[in-house]
Copies of this chain bind each other. A is one copy, B any other.
Amino acid sequence: MIQTPYLLFLGDAPDQLAAKVAQGIRDWRPENAIGQFRMEGCKADMKLPDMTLAEARAAGAKTLVIGVANRGGVISPAWKKVLVQALEEGFDLASGLHNLLADEPDLVAVAAATGQALHDVRVPEVDYPIANGVKRSGKRCLAVGTDCSVGKMYTALAMDREMQARGMKSTFRATGQTGILITGDGVPLDAVVADFMAGAVEWLSPDNDPDHWDLIEGQGSLFHVSYSGVTMALIHGGQPDALILAHEPTRDHMRGLPGYTLPGLEDLRDMALTLARVANPACEVVAISVNTQHMSEDEAAAYLADVEARMGLPATDPFRFGAGKLVDALAAIG
């Protein structure tokens, strides 16, 4: 569990896209982001107050989050001075980079000396159990994609926000690095040892109130040969009551897999539902979330209308048109 609120470290980000972890925190948990720390030459801007370490500490910030990714995911020497100083001034550090904080001897030494924590969110901090398949109370929703990186995390976060606004009980459950940094906790599922994947998802989404929804962050795709095992563990460990199908209509092949075409939404619906009903016979596919970023507004509206008619399910792009339809679909079965 990472202590909030954060100071967002943008370093020397060459552009806004390099700071997408910071952007995710800013967009989805603005209350966790007290300010930003930018070095000379930084081209990213979260429209947050620029703060020194001391100013951010005085304002209550507890953790300096590395909100920027370098090429290769390394911790640059240029950042080191700031990171060391942050530890000395009482910050914990949190990072989702491939290059672990724990593999940097100087940071480890200063953290030990100052008693501050180093959080590498790529590394599981818990010994997860083997899944037991026992039915849990409360309700769960999982987005499953025709491919990786089609907007499953965004869909869950947008639904969570909408549900909070409506006074519904919901919790976003992070399963990836960005999601964990946004919310401060979760399971880095792609780094969990195979035997414990489904158990980690059970652990992440425990018994809850009958009218509470966990919105479990999806990963991978049942049809993506590199990561399908992770998706499977989410479906069986998550015991979802509701599945949302997630799709990006303009791809000509699976992400990173030239020659692999995307499945149809019907294929995804049938496969995911059959598998989900092994763990939860009451599971239903309730709606479709479409990432229309590469379509004009007219194209998007026409595509969504067509999908709704074809699939007999509500369909929307939660980024473009809001998550209302998706939450309505959950409420209808809740």
Determine the distance from Cα of A130 to Cα of B226 in the docked complex, in whole angstroms: 6
Given known contacts A132-B257, A225-B236, A257-B133, is B278 in contact with A195 (CB within 8 Å)?
Answer: no
Q: Would you give 13 A-B contacts (Cβ < 8 Å), ordered by A?
A: A130-B226, A132-B256, A132-B257, A133-B257, A194-B197, A194-B233, A195-B230, A198-B225, A199-B226, A225-B279, A229-B230, A260-B278, A271-B274
**Could you say which of B194, B199, B256, B257 contacts A191, with CB atoms under 8 Å apart?**
B194
Determine the distance from Cα of A222 to Cα of B260 in the docked complex, in whole angstroms: 22
Chain A residues within CB distance 8 Å of chain B: 130-133, 189-195, 197-199, 222-223, 225-233, 236-237, 256-257, 259-260, 263, 271, 274-275, 278-279
* A278 contacts across to B, CB distance below 8 A: 223, 225, 228, 260, 263
- Most central of A130, A193, A232, A236 by chain B CB within 10 Å: A232
Number of copies of this chain in the oligomer? 2
Determine the distance from Cα of A257 to Cα of B257 in the docked complex, in whole angstroms: 36
* A260 contacts across to B, CB distance below 8 A: 133, 278
Determine the distance from Cα of A74 to Cα of B116 in the docked complex, in whole angstroms: 36
Determine the distance from Cα of A25 to Cα of B319 in the docked complex, in whole angstroms: 58
**Cβ distance A126 to chain B, nearest Cβ, rounded Å:** 15
Task: Determine if A194 and B226 form an interchain contact, defined as CB atoms under 8 angstroms apart.
Answer: no
Task: Determine if A190 and B198 form an interchain contact, defined as CB atoms under 8 angstroms apart.
Answer: no
Task: Determine if A275 and B279 form an interchain contact, defined as CB atoms under 8 angstroms apart.
Answer: no
* A256 contacts across to B, CB distance below 8 A: 132
Determine the distance from Cα of A25 to Cα of B219 in the docked complex, in whole angstroms: 39
Task: Determine if A228 and B223 form an interchain contact, defined as CB atoms under 8 angstroms apart.
Answer: no
Determine the distance from Cα of A257 to Cα of B226 in the docked complex, in whole angstroms: 28
* A192 contacts across to B, CB distance below 8 A: 193-194
Determine the distance from Cα of A47 to Cα of B303 in the docked complex, in whole angstroms: 70
Determine the distance from Cα of A130 to Cα of B255 in the docked complex, in whole angstroms: 13
* A227 contacts across to B, CB distance below 8 A: 195, 198
* A232 contacts across to B, CB distance below 8 A: 222, 228-229, 231-232
Given contacts A191-B195, A197-B229, 10 further A-B contacts (CB under 8 A): A132-B226, A133-B226, A190-B194, A194-B230, A222-B275, A225-B278, A225-B279, A226-B236, A229-B232, A263-B278
Determine the distance from Cα of A131 to Cα of B225 in the docked complex, in whole angstroms: 7
- Most central of A132, A194, A236 by chain B CB within 10 Å: A194
* A133 contacts across to B, CB distance below 8 A: 225-226, 257, 259-260
**Could you say which of B190, B275, B279 contacts A195, with CB atoms under 8 Å apart?**
B190
**Cβ distance A186 to chain B, nearest Cβ, rounded Å:** 14
**Cβ distance A2 to chain B, nearest Cβ, rounded Å:** 21
Task: Determine if B193 and A191 form an interchain contact, defined as CB atoms under 8 angstroms apart.
Answer: yes
Determine the distance from Cα of A231 to Cα of B189 in the docked complex, in whole angstroms: 17
**Cβ distance A279 to chain B, nearest Cβ, rounded Å:** 5
* A231 contacts across to B, CB distance below 8 A: 229, 232
Given known contacts A193-B192, A194-B192, is B222 in contact with A233 (CB within 8 Å)?
Answer: no
Determine the distance from Cα of A256 to Cα of B133 in the docked complex, in whole angstroms: 9
